[in-house]
Structure 1
Amino acid sequence: MTEPYSLAVEPWLPVATVEGERKFVRIRDIGHPDLLRVDTGRADCDISVTEFLIGLLAISMGPTDNYDWPRRFETPPSPDEIAAAIKPFAHALVLDGDGPRFFQDFEDLELRNDAAREPIASLFLETPAGHFVKEGTVSALSRRGTALALIALQTGAPAGGRGHRTSLRGGGPSTTLVIPRIESKAPTLWQLLWANVPEGLKIAPEDAAKVIPWLAPTRTSHNDEITTPAHTHFAQAFFGMPRRIRLTFTPGNGERCAVTGDTDDVIVMSYVTRPYGAYYPSHTWRHPLSPYYKSKDKEVGDVWLPLHFKAAGVSYRDWIGLTLKSKPADETSRPADIVAAFLKRAADIDLDVTQPNSVGLLAAGYAMDKMKPLDFTEAMLPLISTGNEDRDYHLAGCATAMVQAAEAASQLLLAALKTALYTDKKKAQPESSKAPLAAARARFWADTENPFYDTLRDLAAEAPDDADAKVYVEAKEAWREDIRNAALAIFDDLAPIDAPDSPDLKNIVNARSLLFYGLEGALIRKALGLAPPEKAEKKNKANGTRRKAA
């Protein structure tokens, strides 16, 4: 039997380097300036492993005062410092062996008659446990690859059937990572990790079992017993373990790992699992790296739940809830706590967040259909701030109004296109019409994205103190023109009046006229909080006076 495989000492972590290479390093090496990011080859694993490293840093060497964070950001710790910091938790980083196993059940599940064996492919979200796994997919993982897949599953576990619990934030949760750009340069791996390390999570080694659940018998949930921060420790948000899993290790025979591509003397082809692991009610936890929204579900009440992306792609429609806080009275969404924390920290490293492209936000997560992952989304968004909380409230209010106006404009556009292109109202809308309309909607949001961000950057630079300041009114008027021009341009492209195969020309003309006046009318202005359009005056022929049109 080989020595236990310890993630505290083995070079198991795949990273991208400034030279454009991919190599495996030890945790102690993450402060090296040549390392850029985690690079597993799978976007979901990249994010989950990055989160795990942030959590490990938070509990082992998290900032303790106002000077500690900027000092370590500017001068990364040496390998020996990192090794010394994680040494008290090294027993939690062993993947195999007879003691506690990394992200695995405390109990040896293979000794249980009611345990089920699953192929190793079931660790991945696209092949949930209990589902048929197609031949020729993932058949073997190295110990490196298994560690990566295990982190991703426990971090984002979807519903897996009766008793197979979801992750602490539900299946495929969304994550946002602050991306600082010092002197417009991409951050190093250390800067990326340390920028997102929350304060106040550093723990004493004797408290490790409260934070790292695999160091103690599993808090099971056969009768829906719950696990909340009150039962454990808030930092367990980074180490939640909803699935009861024990890996089965076998000698390798030259098989290549399906994730890392490497070979290993020891491989994993299957694992044993039991249901009813820890049950984490999402509304009782607040993960520092996730945005939240206010639920209006009558069953759960008025609570905050972790945000999940509903479709592939993240656009400026989602931007406000991911980046800026609204006034407490207006809140329906909240950015991840780390966003506000970093905006306060930025001045300590002389980073001016009001400057364009000084800091970004990486948003990532699965779009899920219940148990089924539809797509994994990654989007780099600008993090625009005035540098002042009250002014940011005004900026968020303006941005919200702009998005509402754009949504109204997109609906007007789709309605006009339906009228222009599909003239037979007695028949159901043809299936073939859905794709062009969906494409038109997608193009509208894409065409108006840059003007949206440009407008907010300009407003952030001026940073007016008054939400009703003239600069906000002017910005909204300019935005009204932007969305009007974009909608009309899309309509004219898709419903040209001079095309030889155009449908009823009268319908096109009428539809465009309705679109134009709709975009100029009260609906858009109301969404923006602007005064309604002035009504044209008509001459009263009866008495020779002028009156406003009704």
Structure 2
Amino acid sequence: MNLLKDPWIPVRANGGTGVFRLLAYQQFLCEPNNWQVSLPRDDLELACVQLLVCMTQVMFLPEENRTWQKRLKNPLSADEFAAGIKPCHDWFDLDHPTQPFMQSRGVKAAENTPIQKLLIGLPEGNNHAFFNEAGEVRNLSGTLAAITLFNQASNCPSFGGGFKGSLRGGAPITTLVYGADLREMVWRNVLTRSRIAKRQIAMPSFEYDQPTWVRPILEKATIPWNEIGLMRGLFWQPTRVELVKSEVPAPCDVLGGEAVPGYSSFRKEKFNFTVEGVWPHPHGAMTMNLKKDPSVKFSSFTTTAPAWTLLSEFVVPNNINASGAKEGSIPAEPITQVNELGDGDLHLLIGGYRTNQASVLERRHEMISLAQGWQDDKGHLPKLVEIGKEAKKVLRGKLYFAVQGNKDKGLKGIGAAIHEIAEKMFYARTESLIHETFSNDLTYKEWPTAYSIFVKQLAEHCRAIFEELTDPYALKPELIPVIAWARRSMNIDLAKLMEKV
């Protein structure tokens, strides 16, 4: 299957309500229609969008803003499409005899790995995060093989010890801009040449900037980050991997449908190399820390806290040089580009995995909307995020005090870890409030009023959760003093939040 010629993009027409079909890349870029990606897993849908963005970025890179805006509105012509794919024609063939897409020929492995291992989080070995049994997926079609190969290399933890991970680290968060339909969404995340250069990404010609399966990474090579070009970085394959075809055609165990030639397993092989520094991938927020151990890394989900708690990193640049701070962040470049060139609301596609080394603990994919006007004063959005986090901290901290008690004050503690339950309840109960506030025009047009209402509602949730969790223990006379002490202290701290307008 060649991604530049054959139908492989899983879509539904009419905004996602139409009949499922596989769309060719040329149809996608050259024909007007309201297509939406259609796959049974949210992470695979995001990976499919990101793969299309990367393909379009390297083959149809807009030279300036005018070209970007034109392509956002109008499909490509057949001649423009043919000229764009010509230099890369043999680079996107899954079954190419010498340079198959995101693979290496002649991979040596003691045994084949079941194809299910490519679908991150499905159980093979000891990982049982989302499915109950190993072997539920025995055959993948070309569509799923291409998307999962790309996702594994770009967004997932490595295959385990001795295998290299993506250029962004083990499990980075991807942040893209949402669009009304698939074609618009892809173009909203394709960057102009000047913005690629601003990201400090090298842009040599295709003669020198070839993907890793065309010009392989050398064993034990040391590669400076600034020598990795745009094509090579967006399609970086850190592992030597080779798909193994199924013996007979069979229905895809993810998409279903008719029997098709597919893949039943793959071979993987360890090899060592070093990338010096961090390649500034455009599809994720970068954080910088200049404290004891200076570091640059990509945002990732390290706790169970929802995505909104990281929203400041996702959309608001915090330049260390300008502020003199020891910590800073740079949003994904499509977010910056749309803020500069677009207007109206901003809708973010956010996705990633919370992991423990190579094991996936949680899949996190959602959309967050920001109403028009948030850019006018970028201090407002971080303040909303910070107040939400502080309210949770107050609730959790005061309940922790009630749990532990205080010997010096003669206060006996509850003992049960209700503070941990409170944190989960806070995130669950405030989720709709948070999203409604971020996406409401009045939040930014009538800031003092909207902020006061937001803080009051957060405080009401905190008090309700506190009472709900402590009421059963208030029946014991010896616990009433510590509960009363914690309640009074919580109310004082919640009142202080109102002063931070």
Same fold flag (TM > 0.5): yes
Which residue does the alignment assign to 1:546?
none
Deviation (angstroms), 1:371: 0.9
Aligned 8 A contact 2:3 2:93 in 1? yes
For residues 484 and 429 of structure 2, the distance between their equivalents in structure 1, rounded to whole angstroms, comes to: 16
Which residue does the alignment assign to 1:540?
none
Deviation (angstroms), 1:286: 1.3
Aligned 8 A contact 1:142 1:263 in 2? no
Task: State how 1:32-431 maps to structure 2 within 5 Å.
Answer: 32-78=31-77, 81-105=80-104, 107-109=105-107, 112=108, 116-126=111-121, 135-180=134-179, 187-200=180-193, 207=206, 210-221=209-220, 225-253=221-249, 255-276=250-271, 279-280=274-275, 283-295=277-289, 301-311=293-303, 314-326=306-318, 328=320, 329=323, 330=325, 331-346=327-342, 351=343, 353=344, 358-384=345-371, 386=373, 391-399=376-384, 401-415=386-400, 418=403, 429-430=415-416
Task: State how 1:512-531 maps to structure 2 within 5 Å.
Answer: 512=484, 514-521=486-493, 525=496, 529=500
Deviation (angstroms), 1:508: 4.4
Equivalent residue of 2:72, what SS? helix
For residues 493 and 425 of structure 1, the distance between their equivalents in structure 2, rounded to whole angstroms, comes to: 20
Instruction: Supply the AA of the counterpart residue of 1:392.
Output: D
Q: Matched residue pairs, number?
A: 480
Aligned 8 A contact 2:177 2:188 in 1? yes
* Unpaired stretches in structure 1, ≥5 consecutive residues: 181-186, 463-470, 531-550
Distance of aligned partners of 1:77 and 1:413 in 2 relative to their CA distance in 1, 3 Å threshold: farther
Aligned 8 A contact 1:143 1:264 in 2? no
Moved more, 238-247 or 140-149: 140-149
Deviation (angstroms), 1:258: 1.8
Distance of aligned partners of 1:517 and 1:297 in 2 relative to their CA distance in 1, 3 Å threshold: closer
Moved more, 309-318 or 239-248: 309-318
Equivalent residue of 2:251, what SS? coil
Equivalent residue of 1:230, what SS? helix
Distance of aligned partners of 1:205 and 1:256 in 2 relative to their CA distance in 1, 3 Å threshold: farther
Equivalent residue of 1:411, what SS? helix
For residues 499 and 78 of structure 2, the distance between their equivalents in structure 1, rounded to whole angstroms, comes to: 53
For residue 442 of structure 2, the aligned residue among 458, 469, 472 is 458
Which residue does the alignment assign to 2:462?
487
For residues 459 and 204 of structure 2, the distance between their equivalents in structure 1, rounded to whole angstroms, comes to: 60
Task: State how 1:6-21 maps to structure 2 within 5 Å.
Answer: 6-18=2-14, 19-21=17-19
Equivalent residue of 2:360, what SS? strand
For residues 327 and 141 of structure 1, the distance between their equivalents in structure 2, rounded to whole angstroms, comes to: 44
For residues 490 and 264 of structure 1, the distance between their equivalents in structure 2, rounded to whole angstroms, comes to: 53
Deviation (angstroms), 1:416: 6.5
Distance of aligned partners of 1:529 and 1:90 in 2 relative to their CA distance in 1, 3 Å threshold: same
TM-score by length of 1: 0.76
Distance of aligned partners of 1:142 and 1:235 in 2 relative to their CA distance in 1, 3 Å threshold: closer
For residue 504 of structure 1, the aligned residue among 451, 476, 479 is 476
TM-score by length of 2: 0.83
Equivalent residue of 1:382, what SS? strand
Instruction: Supply the AA of the counterpart residue of 2:191.
Output: P
Aligned 8 A contact 2:443 2:451 in 1? no
Aligned 8 A contact 1:167 1:280 in 2? no
For residues 385 and 334 of structure 1, the distance between their equivalents in structure 2, rounded to whole angstroms, comes to: 21
Distance of aligned partners of 1:321 and 1:206 in 2 relative to their CA distance in 1, 3 Å threshold: closer
Render the CA deviation track for 1:264-310: whole Å, top value 9, x for unaligned: 453211222211266546x5111111112224685xx3222011112
Deviation (angstroms), 1:332: 3.2
Equivalent residue of 1:62, what SS? coil
For residues 477 and 387 of structure 1, the distance between their equivalents in structure 2, rounded to whole angstroms, comes to: 17
What is the CA RMSD across the aligned residues, in angstroms? 3.5
For residues 400 and 420 of structure 2, the distance between their equivalents in structure 1, rounded to whole angstroms, comes to: 14
Instruction: Supply the AA of the counterpart residue of 1:196.
Output: N
Deviation (angstroms), 1:251: 3.7
Render the CA deviation track for 1:431-472: whole Å, top value 9, x for unaligned: 7x4774344333454375257537x8435336xxxxxxxx65
Deviation (angstroms), 1:373: 0.7
Deviation (angstroms), 1:212: 1.6
Aligned 8 A contact 1:323 1:335 in 2? yes
Moved more, 325-334 or 60-69: 325-334
Render the CA deviation track for 1:347-397: whole Å, top value 9, x for unaligned: xxxx3x3xxxx3211111111111111121112112356475xx4343245
Render the CA deviation track for 1:399-451: whole Å, top value 9, x for unaligned: 3542453243332453366379xxx98789347x4774344333454375257
For residues 385 and 228 of structure 1, the distance between their equivalents in structure 2, rounded to whole angstroms, comes to: 40
Deviation (angstroms), 1:509: 6.9
Distance of aligned partners of 1:156 and 1:476 in 2 relative to their CA distance in 1, 3 Å threshold: closer
Aligned 8 A contact 2:35 2:182 in 1? yes
Which residue does the alignment assign to 1:449?
434
For residues 366 and 305 of structure 2, the distance between their equivalents in structure 1, rounded to whole angstroms, comes to: 7
Which residue does the alignment assign to 2:27?
29
Aligned 8 A contact 1:404 1:528 in 2? no
Equivalent residue of 1:284, what SS? coil
Aligned 8 A contact 1:289 1:336 in 2? yes
Aligned 8 A contact 1:244 1:274 in 2? yes
Instruction: Supply the AA of the counterpart residue of 2:444.
Output: A
Render the CA deviation track for 1:490-521: whole Å, top value 9, x for unaligned: 2233344xx7x853257447624642443334
Residue identity over aligned pairs, in percent, reads 20
Deviation (angstroms), 1:237: 3.0
For residues 500 and 203 of structure 2, the distance between their equivalents in structure 1, rounded to whole angstroms, comes to: 52
For residues 176 and 239 of structure 1, the distance between their equivalents in structure 2, rounded to whole angstroms, comes to: 17
Equivalent residue of 2:483, what SS? helix
For residues 461 and 72 of structure 1, the distance between their equivalents in structure 2, rounded to whole angstroms, comes to: 32
Aligned 8 A contact 1:156 1:167 in 2? yes
For residues 443 and 217 of structure 1, the distance between their equivalents in structure 2, rounded to whole angstroms, comes to: 47
For residues 352 and 275 of structure 2, the distance between their equivalents in structure 1, rounded to whole angstroms, comes to: 19
Instruction: Supply the AA of the counterpart residue of 1:191.
Output: E
